[in-house]
Amino acid sequence: MYIEQQPPGIPGPERPWPEIPTTPGVPGVPRTAGPEPRPILPSWYEPTSISIERELADRLLAERVILVGGRLDDALANHVASQLLLLDAQGNDPITLHLSASESGLDAALSVAGAIGLITAPVHAVARGTVRGAAIAVLAAAAQREAHRHTMFVLSTPKFTADGTAGQLAALADQHERQHARLLDLVATATGRSADEVAADLDAGRVLSAEEAVTYGLITGLR
């Protein structure tokens, strides 16, 4: 009987060819030495505070509630005015405006007061914290005015500063006088007091508690 012998090292039925490691996902390509690469997972970043703030503002807007807090400048005034116009276009139900402004520009305050007077939906203002200076115009423009019991009101004349030529300064001073007269008219109409009395209180920087503001006529009720 003839038996075929295989040279040592040659695979046969009892010694199959060894498997060659390949690169995962690429058939037939030998795997190189070293650790396997980790899979790259997609990732993203979303600022939590901004998203929560926006969600709260959207929910309040759906309930016809607007928050005005901090410094009332031109940017905030434009934002509030756009919200008032949007809610007015959606219906005539009352709009509740929560106001707390320790600092305010005269232009910005009169802009919001003008938007309140422009729309047909009634605006109910609720004062909280501190309402100072020109921001009183926003409160006075509302149809209904309430305040939290620990609210403080500071009647003060808005500051006026400007740069430019003599002609420019004269024009700006005239504009400021007209705006100041508008502020006096809003407060006098809301409180039933004379413009001269209101002007004297603004010049003196009169401070009112919530209870005193009711007596003064600035607000109509407490919460």
What pLDDT is attached to residue 67? 93
Instruction: Of 184, 213, 197, give the one whose Cα is nearest residue 125.
Output: 213
What pLDDT is attached to residue 194? 95
Tokens read off for 95: 């709009």
Least confident of 19-33, 56-70, 169-183: 19-33
Rounded to 5 degrees, φ, ψ at 110 are: -70, -30
Residue 32 has pLDDT above 90, yes or no: no
Contacts of 208 (CB under 8 A, 6+ apart): 152, 153, 154, 155, 216, 218
**Distance between first and last Cα of the chain:** 114
What pLDDT is attached to residue 51? 75
Section 19-29 average pLDDT: 54
What pLDDT is attached to residue 35? 62
What pLDDT is attached to residue 2? 47
pLDDT in tens, 71-86: 999 999 999 999 999 9
